[in-house]
Structures are given as C-alpha cells and as structure tokens.
C-alpha cells in the first residue's frame, strides 16, 4: 500500500515535470522565433521562408515567403493561445496573411468570367522539347459549378485564397504590392511573384521567376508571357496560383484555435477569424476539381474526354494547385483546378472541420457537403495508396502526363474512381514522392483527425503506418535518425517502399513525433508514445541561438551555373537589368545572390571545393519543432497519454 502511494506520487510528479518541460520548450522556441534579433519576420511582420537568405529548394530565395510559412504561423499562434491563454497572435497572423498573401484584384476587370467555359485548354509542356505548345481550341472543357454560389455568398468576384509565393523584400524588383501592378524596384513592400510555370520537368534550378501582374514593363516584348504560353495574342494580365495544402493547413490551424479557445472559454476572441477560415475553405474547393473541369474517371484523350456538368468534374481530393487570372484591362478571366492529387497534400482534419463543425462550415450552399465528400474520399485514398510496408505512395491523376494522355498498362487495371495511380505525381526533379517529409506531414493530419473523432478507417491506416515508421526509426545514444529519401516499387494494390537515405532533420523528426503523439493519445500505444518522446528529446539537443537545427551539406548548390531554357532570339530584362536570353543560368538571372553574405561558400564549391554546409532555420521546420513539443505538453496535461511508467 505504502509503495503504491509512493508510486502514484512519483507518477504524478513525473507527469507534471514532463508537462512543464515540454511547455517550456514550446515557449522557448516560440520566443526565439519572435525575437527580432533572430530575423524570422520582415519589417511588415511577414514570416520569411527561412531566416537565411541564400536558400534554394522550392522557393528560390530564403527571404521569399510562401503560403506554407503563413499556414505554419497561424498554427504556431493557435498553440501559443492554448498554452498562454492569449489568442491575439492567432488573429494577428491571419490578419497579416489576409493583407499580404491573399490577393485583391490588381485592377477592376468587371465580371467577364464565363463559368460555363472556365479556361481554354493547353497541353502541359513536356519542356523544353515541345516548347512552347500552342493552346488547342475545340478541346471540350467543363463548367465551373461553384462560381455562382461563391459570388452570391460573398458578393464579389475575388478569390479568397492565398497565392503561393511572395518576394518579401522585393529583391526581383517587380513591386507587385497588394492591389498594385509592377510598381518597380523602388516600391517598399512585399511583391507577388511566381517561379514554376513549365510543367513537371521543371526544377527550381530551371525556373524563370516572373511577375504575377504582367503589364509588359519587364521581361521581353510581351513581358514574360511568351516564355510560357505559345499563344499568338498577348494580353496584359494578372494571375495567381494556390498551393492547396497550405490553405488547408490554415483551416486546420483555425480548427485548433477554435477548439482550444473554447476549452479556455474564449471562443468569442477567435470567432471572427474562424469565420474567415470557413470562407478560405469555401474557395479552397477549387482544388477538388479537374484542371479543365472535365469528367473524373477514364479521362483519356483531350478531345475524347468530356467536360463535366455539375460536380462530375470533382475528384474531391486536395490537388496540387489551382489558379486564376484575368486580363488587366477587362475582357476575359479564367480559373482552373488540377486533376492530379498527391497523398501528401490531403488534410482530413480540415475536411472534417469544414463539414462537421458548425462554426467552420462554409456559408455557400454546397460547401459543407463538398467537404464531407472530400473527407470520405481522402480516407479512401490513403488506404488505396498504402504500401505493403505501411508508408503511403504517390497519388493519382485524372490527366495522364498533364495532357489527358494514355497511361501505361500497369496503372489501368486498378484505378481510383477511374483516376490512374501516379508513382511520381506532379513533378519529377526531384521526384515528388522521394522526400520523406510528405509522410509525417500528411499522416500527422490523419492522426489529428483520428484523435478528434476515433474514425476507424483512419485508425486502420495509422496502425500500419505507425508500425512501419517505428521499424524505420534509428536511435543511438540519444541521437536519432529518420528516413530522408524513399524509393517506390510496383503499383497498388501491391506497392512497396524502401528507405534509401536517412537524416537527423529536426523538422521531419518533429512532425513524426507529433504524428506518433496524436496516435498514441487516442490508441494508447505506449511504444508510439515513448518513441515520440525520444524523438522530441533528441531534436531538442540541437539548439542554436536562433532555434533548433542541424547542419546539412547542400549538394544541389552545384546547380547555380545550370543553364535555364530560354528560346533563341528571345531577350528580356529583370527590373535590375539582369538579362534573360538563350544561355542564361540560374545565377545570371539572380545577380543579387552575388552580394549575399553566404555567396562565397557557394562560389568556392562552384570552383571545385566541397559542397557547402548550412544550418538553416526554415519557418516550417522551426514551427514543427515548437508544435511537436507543445502537443506533448498538453496531451500529457490532459492525461491522454495514459500513465507514465
Ligand atoms: C497577448 O499577446 C499580444 C501579442 O501577441 C500582446 O501584444 C498582448 O499584450 C497580450 N495580451 C495579454 C493580455 O497578455
Ligand atoms: C509502369 O509501366 C511504365 C511503362 O512501361 C514504366 O515506365 C513504369 O516504371 C511502370 N511503373 C511502375 C510503378 O512499375
């Protein structure tokens, strides 16, 4: 009896001690990220993609920002609200997001959109061999079934969605400040830009960064348009594109802010922002449709595959992007969805919130029911793509090769609602399913959904995924290794995976720990809980003055001198005078990098030295660290982890 009492006291003490450790770690990391000396935010309060400027991965410069960084910021602030009881930061982050990365129209174009003909078909480019490809007229496209209800619900033609990329410090000098078009290098504020434009073969190293609002002031005779579209009539125009996983993550953050504020009796403090998240979710439905609103399923041959009526064009999965644009001076506008979906973008918790939580149901007539359909479809998708080992493979597409092509035999026997398995969805350099991070990013959301609802389909996928990852984590003396690269074999229902490279990356390790924590909190799986804590403690050893990070060797920086495809006889200029012409390279289009404090490291490598080493502080990764530690703090508090041994 006495020993039992003693055991209970030790147990309680251990738990309280554990809580405060993880809570302190969350606060310590949060404070580092908000310390102006550490450089996470611009003078407009915009989070940079990374503290470091010399950074090329998906963004081509560290002081750009992405909708991804914004979505992590809202989530970070939601958790700060839970831990401190102060939700002001969450509302402020959303406000900043709305101000700077949700575009307003660059000019009044009037209502020229024709929802029965949302866009004109053009092949995705098999760049550069068949480049540029002309638009093809006469290819059937479907109708946009949500436009009318969005206009009548919100009383505006504007799309309430994030553009994916901002040049925060206006280094390219386009000066596309919110609501403005090409104000130039003198403009003091964040500037909308785009990079990727040429289809799946294009790596960041081959991009030609371009303005989102093209008044032909920069670039060539037709601005940047004739680099990307083989049209004959060039019209001054603006266009934006959305990375739907980020908007979904912001919705997910709002769900947590709402839930946690409720727990603190403070729901009224966040209700205005939560309503905005429902609106974001309403427009995010564009991600659920085929690119040209064609019918979903066995859509082979651009001329053969019919356009969809009503919701026939909805695959209900969160696809890779959607985009919208218009002529600068009126006349026409367009919207497209995307027929290709990667498992890594799915977010069942956001879909659940938008269909089952009253405060977050979109106001439009069919918004909530579309998200209910999406929720069910996403759960089915994970199971369909699950490998024999447990990791989730690639994705599916309604448009083979981005041009409604004929898929190979090996993917035509077992389709997903008539969509084809795509082992490398959307982009190929590097392969989109190689990076391990997609696994915990997406499975964390599935685990959160499971934690909230106890859904059995989610549980079945997670049981298998968790046993896979537990077998692939390596621990040695308090150090850890998580997978970094994955390789895939065969097709569903018999897909296989192997881990081909490992690392101690703090971001993916933290996302893994958080997935395991949510899973353990619901299932009671002690092994998952203990491994989560081991990862969190391992990650925490990698303190830097600015956050938590490990040094990495960046092999890809050998590509700074790589040639970028520019057609012969094409010549144009960036606002700073950098010349765009045949023979241009990544660095020749970005002379500003030569003034970067870290440039000498890259230059030495280009001159034959070793690959450079960097200790990066990416906003998403630093947020993942904080969010994983914080999750453990309050699920221990709620005793969801069960007793501590
Ligand atoms: C809440 O946090 C904000 C910053 O996010 C701060 O300005 C404000 O003073 C805080 N309010 C309280 C009551 O602590
Ligand atoms: C399917 O077949 C194509 C064409 O033969 C081949 O290139 C591809 O690697 C196969 N895919 C898988 C996952 O085995």
Report CA-CA distances (Å) from 358 to 259, 346, 362, 435: 12, 21, 9, 36
Minimal-distance CA residue to ligand 1 atom 2: 88
Task: Give the ranges where 454-505 is alpha helix by DSSP (H).
Answer: 456-472
Ligand 1 centroid to Cα of residue 82, in Å, is: 13
Tens of pLDDT, residues 378-424: 999 999 999 999 999 999 999 999 999 999 999 999 999 999 999 98
How far, in whole angstroms, is CA 228 from its chain's centroid? 23
| Mean pLDDT, residues 109-117 taken together | 78
- What's the CA gap between 394 and 381, in Å, rounded? 10
| Mean pLDDT, residues 100-126 taken together | 78
Ligand 2 centroid to Cα of residue 121, in Å, is: 27
Tell me the longest C-alpha to C-alpha distance in the chain.
Answer: 89
% residues pLDDT > 70 (the chain): 92
**DSSP letters for 59-79:** SSSTTEEEHHHHHHHHHHHHH
| Mean pLDDT, residues 470-480 taken together | 96
Minimal-distance CA residue to ligand 2 atom 7: 408
Tens of pLDDT, residues 304-319: 999 999 999 999 999 9
Minimal-distance CA residue to ligand 2 atom 14: 490
Residue 614: what are its φ and ψ, rounded to 5°?
-135, 145
Query: Which pLDDT belongs to residue 14?
Result: 38
Ligand 2 centroid to Cα of residue 428, in Å, is: 14
pTM of the full structure: 0.95
Q: Is the CB of 420 under 6 A from ligand 2?
A: no
SS3 at position 565: coil
- What's the CA gap between 262 and 274, in Å, rounded? 12
Q: Which of 395, 410, 423, 498 to mutate to test the pocket of ligand 2 (most atoms within 8 A of CB)?
A: 410
% residues pLDDT > 90 (the chain): 84
- What's the CA gap between 16 and 12, in Å, rounded? 6
Tens of pLDDT, residues 440-458: 999 999 999 999 999 999 9
Ligand 2 centroid to Cα of residue 498, in Å, is: 17
Q: Is the CB of 94 under 6 A from ligand 2?
A: no
Any long-range contacts for 473-479 (C-beta under 8 Å, 24+ apart)?
A: 473/512, 473/531, 473/535, 474/502, 475/534, 475/538, 478/537, 478/538, 478/541, 479/504, 479/538, 479/541
- What's the CA gap between 320 and 66, in Å, rounded? 15
- What's the CA gap between 194 and 212, in Å, rounded? 6
Q: For residue 643, is pLDDT > 80?
A: no
| Mean pLDDT, residues 536-540 taken together | 97
Q: For residue 249, is pLDDT > 70?
A: yes
Instruction: Kindly report the average pLDDT of the chain as a whole number.
Output: 92
Pick the CATH number of 35-433+551-614 from 1.50.10.10, 1.20.59.10, 2.60.120.260, 3.40.50.1820: 1.50.10.10
SS3 at position 585: strand
- The residue with tokens 């979906």 is 341
Residue 402: what are its φ and ψ, rounded to 5°?
70, 15
Tens of pLDDT, residues 127-140: 555 455 566 778 99
Query: Which pLDDT belongs to residue 644?
Result: 38
CB 253 within 8 A of CB 78: yes
Query: Which pLDDT belongs to residue 641?
Result: 53
Per-residue pLDDT band for 17 (boundaries 50, 70, 90) equals very low
| Mean pLDDT, residues 429-436 taken together | 89
Minimal-distance CA residue to ligand 2 atom 4: 408
What residues are annotated to the active site?
476
Q: Is the CB of 251 under 6 A from ligand 2?
A: no
Report CA-CA distances (Å) from 141 to 239, 387, 407: 20, 35, 20
Per-residue pLDDT band for 639 (boundaries 50, 70, 90) equals low
Of 370, 378, 524, 359, give the one whose Cα is nearest residue 449: 378
Rg, Å, the chain Cα set: 24
Phi-psi region of 499 (alpha: psi -120 to 50; beta: other; left: phi over 0): beta
Tens of pLDDT, residues 501-517: 999 999 999 999 999 99
Tens of pLDDT, residues 202-217: 899 999 999 999 999 9
Report CA-CA distances (Å) from 599 to 92, 576, 590: 35, 19, 12
Minimal-distance CA residue to ligand 2 atom 3: 408
CB within 6 Å of ligand 1 — which residues? 86, 88-89
Ligand 2 centroid to Cα of residue 490, in Å, is: 8
Angle between helices 367-385 and 267-284 (to 10 degrees): 70
Q: For residue 12, is pLDDT > 90?
A: no
Query: Which pLDDT belongs to residue 15?
Result: 44
Q: Minimum-distance ligand to the CA of 84?
A: 1
| Mean pLDDT, residues 274-302 taken together | 98
Q: For residue 6, is pLDDT > 50?
A: no
Ligand 2 centroid to Cα of residue 288, in Å, is: 27
Q: Which of 88, 91, 266 to mutate to test the pocket of ligand 1 (most atoms within 8 A of CB)?
A: 88
């Amino acid at each position: 009896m006495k020993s039992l009492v003693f055991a209970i006291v030790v147990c309680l003490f251990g738990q309280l001690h554990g809580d405060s450790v993880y809570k302190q770690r969350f606060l310590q990391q949060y404070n580092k990220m908000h310390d102006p000396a550490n450089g996470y935010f611009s003078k407009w309060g915009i989070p940079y993609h990374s503290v470091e400027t010399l950074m090329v991965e998906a963004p081509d410069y560290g002081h750009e920002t992405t909708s991804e960084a914004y979505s992590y910021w809202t989530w970070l602030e939601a958790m700060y609200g839970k831990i401190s009881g102060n939700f002001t930061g969450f509302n402020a982050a959303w406000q900043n997001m709305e101000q700077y990365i949700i575009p307003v129209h660059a000019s009044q174009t009037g209502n020229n959109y024709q929802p029965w003909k949302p866009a004109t078909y053009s092949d995705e480019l098999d760049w550069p061999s068949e480049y540029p490809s002309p638009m093809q007229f006469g290819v059937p496209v479907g109708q946009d079934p949500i436009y009318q209800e969005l206009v009548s619900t919100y009383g505006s033609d504007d799309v309430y969605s994030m553009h994916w990329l901002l040049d925060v410090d206006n280094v390219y000098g386009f000066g596309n400040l919110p609501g403005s078009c090409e104000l130039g290098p003198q403009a003091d504020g964040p500037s909308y830009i785009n990079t990727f434009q040429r289809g799946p073969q294009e790596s960041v190293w081959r991009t030609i960064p371009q303005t989102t609002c093209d008044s032909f002031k920069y670039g060539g005779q037709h601005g940047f348009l004739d680099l990307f579209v083989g049209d004959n009539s060039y019209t001054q125009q603006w266009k934006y594109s959305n990375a739907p996983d980020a908007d979904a993550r912001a919705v997910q953050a709002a769900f947590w802010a709402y839930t946690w504020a409720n727990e603190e009796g403070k729901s009224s403090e966040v209700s205005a922002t939560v309503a905005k998240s429902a609106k974001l979710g309403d427009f995010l439905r564009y991600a659920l449709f085929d690119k040209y609103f064609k019918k979903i399923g066995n859509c082979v041959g651009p001329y053969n595959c019919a356009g969809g009526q009503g919701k026939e064009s909805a695959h209900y999965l969160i696809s890779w992007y959607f985009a919208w644009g218009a002529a600068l001076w009126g006349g026409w506008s367009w919207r497209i969805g995307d027929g290709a979906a990667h498992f890594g973008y799915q977010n069942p918790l956001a879909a659940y919130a938008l269909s089952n939580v009253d405060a977050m149901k979109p106001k439009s007539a069919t918004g909530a029911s579309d998200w209910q359909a999406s929720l069910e479809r996403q759960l089915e998708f994970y199971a369909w793509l699950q490998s024999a080992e447990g990791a989730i493979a690639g994705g599916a597409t309604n448009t083979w090769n981005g041009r409604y092509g004929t898929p190979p035999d090996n993917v035509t026997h077992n389709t997903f609602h008539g969509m084809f398995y795509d082992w490398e969805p959307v982009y190929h350099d590097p392969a989109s399913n190689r990076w391990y991070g997609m696994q915990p990013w997406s499975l964390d959301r599935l685990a959160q959904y499971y934690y909230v609802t106890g859904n059995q389909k989610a549980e079945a996928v997670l049981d298998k995924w968790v046993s896979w990852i537990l077998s692939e984590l390596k621990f040695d003396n308090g150090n850890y290794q998580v997978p970094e690269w994955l390789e895939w074999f065969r097709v569903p229902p018999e897909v296989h995976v192997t881990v081909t490279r490992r690392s101690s990356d703090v971001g993916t390790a933290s996302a893994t720990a958080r997935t395991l924590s949510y899973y353990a909190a619901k299932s009671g799986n002690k092994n998952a809980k203990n491994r989560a804590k081991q990862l969190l403690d391992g990650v925490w050893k990698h303190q830097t003055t600015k956050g938590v990070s490990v040094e990495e060797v960046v092999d890809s920086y050998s590509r700074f001198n790589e040639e970028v495809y520019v057609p012969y006889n094409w010549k144009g200029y960036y606002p700073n005078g950098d010349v765009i012409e045949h023979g241009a390279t990544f660095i020749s289009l970005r002379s500003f990098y030569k003034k970067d404090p870290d440039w000498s490291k890259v230059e030495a490598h280009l001159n034959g030295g070793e690959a450079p080493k960097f200790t990066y502080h990416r906003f998403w990764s630093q947020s993942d660290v904080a969010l994983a530690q914080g999750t453990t703090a309050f699920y221990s508090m709620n005793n969801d982890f069960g007793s501590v041994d």
